[in-house]
Amino acid sequence: MIGSVVRTALLAMSLAAYTVVLPGAGLASPEPTQLVAPPTAVTSPTSAPAIGLREIGRIHVTSPLCKVLVSHAVHAIDIVTANDRRLDVAEKTLLNVDLDSSELAKHRGVSEIVRQYVELRAAAVDGNGVMGEFRSDALAVASDEQRAHLVTFGDALDGALHRQKTLADAMGRLIAYLGSHPPIDRATHDQMIFEELLRESDRRQARDPFARAGDGGPLAGIPDPLSLTARFASAELVKRAASIAGDEDAAATRMDDAFASC
């Protein structure tokens, strides 16, 4: 669906190639060390692989500050990648969820959407916090040029996290709508349409009898079934998520300049 999982995975792998962090303590060539991405603060969806601790590369160390900056970046990339997977799961859930066959079906469906919303938003907020630390630490970089490159890289990566949080907030508004409206099964919806068309037939002004609910025609006052509303939300999610990939592309292209001095 979103396709940025591969992009962010490659970004993390590329970042691992940079030389980073531990003072050599008099050694001309310090021993390589492992850079391990810290675990994310929230649980990944069941369909996504576990994030956990992961070795992303063996690297040499040049400065403690560089090590901190790379560690922040890898942590944020892991969160962005996990959230891309969560958005992919959310899109499929909204596309296929049953919210109208019964009150129980609605409760189960909405509960699943709520769970996905909570995980997505909590992770994005966590990632924004990580990038806040990244920006703060980047201010200590001596070179004005590298500091500027780090800021532009951080802005792009943080932009992806912000967009993910915005999509989570949109899911929250959908949840509020679903929670305040009753399920409408097919028979009930058909009856609502039939009764509205009967009322329209008694009016003098001719209107399109085939207009669907919500299009401004005679059926505009009839709400869509909740499952149909969720399917519309799924399509909108796909459309809005495309901009996340643009932020990830921007971060990838700015990474070389940001970490070249490490």
In this structure, the answer to whether residues 150 and 171 fall within a common structural domain is: yes
3-state secondary structure 8-64: HHHHHHHHCCCCCCCCCCCCCCCCCEEEEECCCCCCCCCCCCCCCCEEEEEECCCCH
Say whether both 133 and 19 belong to one domain: yes
Asked whether residue 146 falls in the same domain as residue 231, the answer is yes
0.85 cut: is pTM over it? Answer: no
Question: 207 in helix, strand or coil?
Answer: coil
- Check whether residue 83 and residue 203 sit in a common domain: no
Q: Among candidates 194, 255, 230, which has minimal Cα distance to 95? A: 230
Q: Are residues 67 and 192 in the same domain?
A: no
- 49 and 103 housed in the same domain: yes
Same domain, 154 and 202: no
Does one domain contain both 211 and 127? no
Domain that holds residue 8: 4-182+226-259
The count of domains in the chain is 2
Q: Residue 58: give its domain's CATH number.
A: 1.20.120
Same domain, 21 and 98: yes
Distances (CA, A) of 153 to 48, 57, 88, 162, 252: 26, 20, 25, 14, 8
Do 192 and 144 have their domain in common? no
Could you give the count of Cα atoms lying within 13 Å of 66 in the half-sphere of its Cβ?
Answer: 21
162 and 32 fall within a common domain: yes
Amino acid at residue number 224: D
Q: What are the pLDDT tens digits along the chain (262 aa)? A: 334 544 554 455 556 555 443 333 333 333 433 434 444 444 444 444 443 333 333 333 367 888 899 889 989 999 999 999 999 999 999 999 999 999 999 999 999 999 999 999 999 999 999 999 999 999 999 899 999 999 999 999 999 999 999 999 999 999 999 999 998 877 675 666 656 665 666 554 545 444 454 455 555 566 789 999 999 999 999 999 989 988 988 888 888 888 887 7
CA distances from 221 to 20, 152, 207 (A): 62, 48, 14
> Same domain, yes or no, for 92 and 124?
yes
Tokens 């994310």 label which residue? 40
